[in-house]
Amino acid sequence: MTVCASPASPTVVAMNPQNASRTAVVACLSRAIHTRTDPLVIHADPWGDRLFSAATWHKVYQFARMGNPQLPEVADEAVVRSAVSMGLRRGPAYPNMIVRSRYAEDALHVAAALGIRQYVLLGAGFDSYALRMPSPEVASVTEIDHPATQSVKQHCIAQAGVTLPGAVRFVAADLSTQDLAAVLAPSLPDPRAPAFFSWLGVTMYLSEEANLKTLRAVAATAAPGSELVFEYVDQRFFDAHRALTEAESALKQTLLALGEPWICGFDPAQLPDVLASAGWSLLEDVADTALVERYDPQGLNGMKPWGLGRLARVRVRVHVGVSGPGAA
């Protein structure tokens, strides 16, 4: 699949279709569609409209046709964009892809006002914070992602003719196999200062072991006071004895069709203990339904989250014996 937009030649960019995470493309497009079409903009991010080529829209269109066979196989640009926009807006995880970015960036900006100036995105995908840099208080942005997705993103940015600020750095790492602690410490501009981490739309694709390893690695490497916002799926989604709701079923089918099925969730009741054992204190754990209500209390966008998506905001626990009471 060609995923990058080129101002000179929007459709002729040779990239391996298997390279970039498809769900990362869909998430970025969804945020652009939200910014352009929803009556109440919860998260303003138009970058999906700039980064992706016409060929990418066509690829997503073919995917949308699977859910709506009445769409013609061959369609012009306007039909493609409108069908993709409608298809993605109807998707069960569409609200989640919007509210998680809003939640993380709100928390980042609160942390930045309190002096945490380094932002690290784990599994950054096509997140556009580095392209927007909306807060002058955030001094550096470090994107850590699977090398396959990251190289395509860098290519897309270059093809869009954008020069990133020097405060942005990219670090390629496969979180399912690599030791994050080893790549993290040298990646931060100031490893001794606290950092703010986001980890959105990733935990569900990793094994439980890889997730815990990542949590432990960040807690052990990041300075005390560092914070993390991460998205996770309520473990009930994976309960084989529980009947799936219509939205859950649709979501499962969509993920299978995209070739990126979810494999891991957490039990919200056990989350504080799981986090504590990995070096974190839980500050907030909130359901997707509550977040949509928080940001759009009047329901102007008509967003109906699928229900078992959650966001947690956590802080590195004080390393007792190092910086805790009684430390030498």
Ligand X SMILES: C[S@@+](CC[C@H](N)C(=O)[O-])C[C@H]1O[C@@H](n2cnc3c(N)ncnc32)[C@H](O)[C@@H]1O
User: Using CB under 6 A as the criterion, which residues of the chain lie in contact with ligand X when the complex forms?
Assistant: 21, 23-24, 27-28, 123-125, 127, 145-146, 149, 174-176, 200-202, 205
The Cα–Cα gap between 101 and 198 comes to: 9
Q: Which of 163, 182, 108, 170 is nearest to 145 (CA)?
A: 170
Closest CB to ligand X among residues 64, 124: 124
Two structure tokens written together for 147: 């090398």
Closest CB to ligand X among residues 224, 260: 260
Q: Which of 123, 67, 18 is nearest to 254 (CA)?
A: 67
Closest CB to ligand X among residues 28, 71: 28
Q: How far is the CB of 181 from ligand X (least distance, A)?
A: 15
CB-closest chain residue to ligand X = 125
Closest CB to ligand X among residues 87, 201: 201
Helix axes 271-278, 208-221, angle to 10 degrees: 50
Q: How far is the CB of 5 from ligand X (least distance, A)?
A: 17
Residue 319 to residues 39, 120, 205: CA-CA distances in angstroms?
46, 21, 30
The Cα–Cα gap between 281 and 317 comes to: 6
Q: How far is the CB of 96 from ligand X (least distance, A)?
A: 9
Closest CB to ligand X among residues 24, 71: 24
Closest CB to ligand X among residues 2, 23: 23
Close Cβ partners of 256 (under 8 Å, ≥ 6 residues apart): none
Dihedral angle, C-alpha 312, 230, 254, 33, nearest 10 °: 100
Helix axes 22-37, 246-258, angle to 10 degrees: 120
Q: How far is the CB of 228 from ligand X (least distance, A)?
A: 13
Q: How far is the CB of 162 from ligand X (least distance, A)?
A: 18
Q: How far is the CB of 202 from ligand X (least distance, A)?
A: 4
Residue 159, H or E segment? helix 147-159
Q: How far is the CB of 117 from ligand X (least distance, A)?
A: 21
Amino acid identity, position 233: V
Closest CB to ligand X among residues 117, 153: 153
Closest CB to ligand X among residues 71, 88: 88
Q: How far is the CB of 173 from ligand X (least distance, A)?
A: 6
Task: Say which residue the tokens 């993390």 belong to.
Answer: 228
Close Cβ partners of 300 (under 8 Å, ≥ 6 residues apart): 38, 39, 40
